C-alpha cells in the first residue's frame, strides 16, 4: 500500500487567519493519525505565513507516524530540521516569496549544494527526499547526490488528467522505473486529489508515499476530515 502523508499547512493557514489557536494544528495532526493516515507533512516557509517553526517543534512531540518536513534548505530551515529530527526531510527549491512549490530541483546545476545538504541530514539519521520533475537527467542526478528518495512533482499530471488525458501518468511511471533502477525510493505530491489519485497510484510503480494537503482539506469541507482521509486510503490500497 502507498502511504498517505497529510500536509497540514492549510490547517495552519486557517488558524492564522483569525489568530489564536483554532483550529489547533497539533490536535488536528493527532486526529488525522487516528483516522488512519500514515504520516504528517508540514512545509514551513521563512515568513511563517502558515506553519510556524514552533509548530514543527510542537508536532515532533506528538506525531507517532512518519513526520516529514518540506522546505527550501536555507540555513534557518536546516537548523530547524536538525533540531527537530523528523523521520524525513523533503528538499524543495521554492523561492522565498513562492505561493506554492512550482518546480523540481535541477540536480545537475545544484549537485554540489544538494550533496552537502543531503550529507548533513543523512549524517543526522534523517531520511532525505528531493522534489524533482519526471525527467531522466534530473532523476539520475538525484541518485548521484545521495538522496534516499525523490518526490515526483505532479502538477503537470494533475492538469493533464483533468483536461482528459488518460495517459497523463505515463511520464511519471517511466520516471518511477528510472528512479527505482537507480536505487531511489519514490514519493509524489502536488495537486493530487480524490479525482486523480487512483489513476496515479495504479499507473505509477514503486510508489511509496504521497503527500496531499490542499485538495484534501478542501474536500474535507464537504465530506469531513475523517471521511476524506479514509477515502484516500481506500484509493491508495
Question: Three-state SS across the chain?
Answer: CCEEEEECHHHHHHHHHHCCCCCCHHHHHHHHHHCCCCEEEECCCCCCCCCCHHHHHHHHCCCCCEEEEEECCCHHHHHHHHHHCCCEEEECCCCCCCCCCCCCCCCCCCHHHHHHHHHHHHHCCCEEEEEECCCHHHHHHHHHCCCCEEEEECHHHHHHHHCCCCCCCHHHHHHHHHHHHCCCEEEEECCCCCCCHHHHHHHCCCEEEEEECHHHHHHHHHHCHHHHHHHHHHHHC
Work out the percent of the chain whose per-residue pLDDT is above 90.
95
Q: For the segment 55-98, what is each residue's pLDDT rounded down to a tens digit?
A: 999 999 999 999 999 999 999 999 999 999 999 999 999 765 55
pTM over 0.75: yes
**Residue partners of 34: CB distance under 8 A and separation at least 6:** none
Q: Please tell me which residue in 43, 66, 151, 209 is annotated as part of the active site.
A: 43
Give the per-residue pLDDT at 103. Answer: 78
Q: Which three cell numbers stand for residue 22?
A: 483554532
Determine contact, residues 69/84, Cβ cutoff 8 Å.
yes
What is the CATH superfamily name and number for domain 3-236? Aldolase class I (3.20.20.70)
The pLDDT of 30-44, averaged and rounded, is 98
Q: Please tell me which residue in 66, 70, 151, 209 is annotated as part of the active site.
A: 70
- CA distance linking residue 137 with residue 134, whole number of Å: 9
Give the per-residue pLDDT at 94. Answer: 78
- CA distance linking residue 129 with residue 91, whole number of Å: 6
- CA distance linking residue 212 with residue 56, whole number of Å: 18
Give the per-residue pLDDT at 97. Answer: 58
The pLDDT of 143-159, averaged and rounded, is 98
- Of 5-9, 97-101, 180-184, the one with minimum mean pLDDT is 97-101
Give the per-residue pLDDT at 202. Answer: 98
Determine contact, residues 210/5, Cβ cutoff 8 Å.
yes
Work out the percent of the chain whose per-residue pLDDT is above 70.
97
pLDDT reading at 219 higher than 70: yes
Residue 99: how many other CB atoms lie within 10 Å:
9
Give the per-residue pLDDT at 102. Answer: 63
Give the per-residue pLDDT at 96. Answer: 59
Which pairing describes strands 149-153 and 127-132: parallel, antiparallel, or unpaired?
parallel
Determine contact, residues 117/78, Cβ cutoff 8 Å.
yes
Enumerate the domain spans of the chain.
3-236
Q: Please tell me which residue in 33, 190, 209, 219 is annotated as part of the active site.
A: 190
Give the per-residue pLDDT at 98. Answer: 54
Give the per-residue pLDDT at 101. Answer: 58
Residue 190 among the catalytic residues: yes
Amino acid at each position: 500500500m502507498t502511504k498517505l502523508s497529510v500536509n497540514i499547512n492549510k490547517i495552519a493557514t486557517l488558524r492564522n487567519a483569525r489568530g489564536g489557536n483554532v483550529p489547533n494544528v497539533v490536535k488536528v495532526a493527532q486526529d488525522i493519525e487516528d483516522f488512519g493516515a500514515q504520516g504528517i507533512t508540514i512545509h514551513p516557509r521563512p515568513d511563517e505565513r502558515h506553519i510556524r517553526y514552533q509548530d514543527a517543534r510542537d508536532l515532533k512531540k506528538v506525531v507517532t507516524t512518519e513526520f516529514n518536513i518540506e522546505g527550501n534548505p536555507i540555513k534557518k530551515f536546516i537548523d530547524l530540521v536538525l533540531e527537530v529530527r523528523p523521520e524525513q526531510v523533503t528538499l524543495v527549491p521554492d523561492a522565498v516569496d513562492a505561493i506554492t512549490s512550482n518546480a523540481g530541483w535541477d540536480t545537475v546545476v545544484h549537485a554540489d549544494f544538494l550533496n552537502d545538504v543531503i550529507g548533513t541530514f543523512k549524517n543526522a539519521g534523517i531520511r532525505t527526499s528531493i522534489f524533482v520533475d519526471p525527467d531522466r537527467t534530473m532523476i539520475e542526478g538525484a541518485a548521484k547526490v545521495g538522496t534516499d528518495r525523490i518526490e515526483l512533482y505532479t502538477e503537470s499530471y494533475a492538469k493533464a488528467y483533468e483536461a482528459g488525458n488518460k495517459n497523463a501518468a505515463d511520464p511519471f511511471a517511466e520516471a518511477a522505473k528510472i528512479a527505482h533502477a537507480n536505487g531511489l525510493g519514490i514519493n509524489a505530491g502536488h495537486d493530487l486529489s480524490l479525482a486523480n489519485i487512483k489513476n496515479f497510484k495504479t499507473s505509477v510503480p514503486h510508489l511509496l508515499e504521497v503527500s496531499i494537503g490542499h485538495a484534501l482539506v478542501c474536500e474535507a469541507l464537504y465530506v469531513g476530515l475523517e471521511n476524506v482521509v479514509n477515502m484516500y486510503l481506500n484509493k491508495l490500497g
